[in-house]
């Protein structure tokens, strides 16, 4: 069966520090991969999605970037975090059009 791993579960970072969040999927090949952010009490905001290695689409231009160095690995990065980057970051995977997405456990990021 397919599983998705996301780490770390929680992270506290100072303003201006770098960020790297990693997500890996097991049990499937060539998944579509997604990064979302959820602010407290709010809906899901799609940040990036990828349909293949090295293929990244950005939905919200900001100081975040994403990379997909391997088929089942998706990384969210920042060179300098802002206070507004705080939130619940979720990685998700899907198999294609008309199919649901399934989420990892998420990373709760707090910026101090």
Q: Is the dihedral of CA 76, 67, 100, 62 positive or negative?
A: positive
Buried/exposed 68-86: b ≥16 CB within 10 Å, e otherwise: beeebebbbebeebeeebb
Residues 52 to 91 in contact with other proteins, rule: CB under 8 A: 90
**Which positions ≥6 away from 58 have C-beta within 8 Å?**
47, 48, 66
Closer Cβ to other proteins, 14 or 40, answer by number: 40
Q: Are 33 and 25 in contact (CB under 8 A)?
A: yes
Q: Judged by CB under 8 A, does residue 100 bind other proteins?
A: yes
Q: Quick one: which of 21, 24, 32, 35 contacts other proteins (CB under 8 A)?
A: 32
Q: Quick one: which of 37, 106, 109, 111 contacts other proteins (CB under 8 A)?
A: 106
Strands 10-13 and 107-111: parallel
CB of 18 to other proteins, least distance (A): 24
Question: Which span (20-28, 60-68, 77-85, 92-100) binds other proteins, by CB under 8 A?
Answer: 92-100
Q: Judged by CB under 8 A, does residue 11 bind other proteins?
A: no
Residues in the site for other proteins, rule: CB under 8 A? 32, 34, 42-44, 46, 49, 51, 90, 94, 96-106, 108
């Amino acid at each position: 069966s397919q599983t998705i791993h996301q780490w770390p579960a929680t992270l506290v970072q100072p303003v201006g520090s770098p960020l790297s969040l990693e997500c890996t999927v097991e049990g499937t090949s060539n998944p579509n991969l997604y990064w979302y952010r959820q602010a407290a009490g709010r809906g899901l905001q799609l940040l990036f999605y990828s349909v293949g290695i090295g293929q990244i689409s950005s939905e919200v231009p900001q100081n975040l970037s994403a990379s997909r160095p391997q088929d089942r690995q998706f990384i969210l990065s920042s060179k300098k975090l802002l206070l507004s980057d705080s939130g619940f970051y979720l990685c998700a995977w899907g198999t294609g059009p008309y199919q649901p997405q399934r989420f990892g456990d998420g990373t709760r990021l707090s910026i101090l």
